[in-house]
């Protein structure tokens, strides 16, 4: 689970926030690997979810400022992530899924979203 060049979209603020988000997801996996308590893992998940929420708002504000035509569609992707993340958290809490499922979901989503939707946004900003 290492940061890769392909995750970068070429927009300083977005890339910086993506790195923080990626580090938070890594910290969840690391805590689990090190046998940290459920409470510790729960707190890291809460921090990651809050950061995702903050970052989405940050990106959405950029989209509004530049008059991004795909704003609604992009925001729907963000809302979908938050809903699905919540489902994984509930499932983890009830013991139906483990932390690998949640981390795997977050990483897959992050890679797909940054290399498609966020890259398109960054390209739009540059040519605007």
Both tokens assigned to 100: 């690998």
Per-residue DSSP letter, 97: S
Structure tokens at 46: 């809460």
Q: Smallest distance, Å, CB 31 to Fe ion?
A: 26
| Minimum distance of Fe ion from residue 99's CB (angstroms) | 24
- Using the minimum distance from each CB to Fe ion, give the nearer residue, 36 or 117: 117
Binding residues for Fe ion, per CB under 5 A? 59, 118
Rg of the chain's alpha carbons, rounded to an integer? Answer: 15
Cβ proximity to Fe ion, 44 vs 55, nearer residue: 55
Return the number of the residue (32 or 59) whose C-beta is nearest Fe ion: 59
Taking the C-alpha atoms of residue 118 and residue 35, their distance in angstroms, rounded to an integer, is: 34
Shortest Cβ distance from residue 118 to Fe ion (Å)? 5
Q: Shortest distance, CB of residue 34 to Fe ion, whole angstroms?
A: 30
3-state helix, strand, coil in the chain (%, to 5): 85, 0, 15
Residue (16 or 90) nearer to Fe ion, CB: 16
Q: Which of 5, 14, 4, 20 is nearest to 117 (CA)?
A: 14
């Amino acid at each position: 689970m290492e940061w890769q060049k392909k995750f970068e979209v070429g927009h300083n603020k977005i890339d910086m926030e993506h790195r923080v988000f990626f580090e938070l997801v890594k910290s969840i996996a690391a805590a689990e690997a090190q046998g940290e308590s459920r409470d510790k893992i729960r707190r890291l998940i809460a921090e990651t979810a809050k950061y995702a929420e903050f970052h989405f708002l940050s990106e959405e504000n950029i989209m509004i400022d530049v008059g991004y035509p795909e704003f609604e569609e992009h925001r729907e992707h963000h809302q979908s992530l938050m809903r699905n993340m919540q489902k994984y958290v509930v499932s983890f809490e009830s013991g139906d899924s483990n932390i690998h499922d949640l981390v795997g979901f977050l990483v897959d989503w992050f890679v797909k979203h940054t290399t498609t939707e966020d890259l398109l946004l960054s390209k739009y900003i540059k040519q605007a």
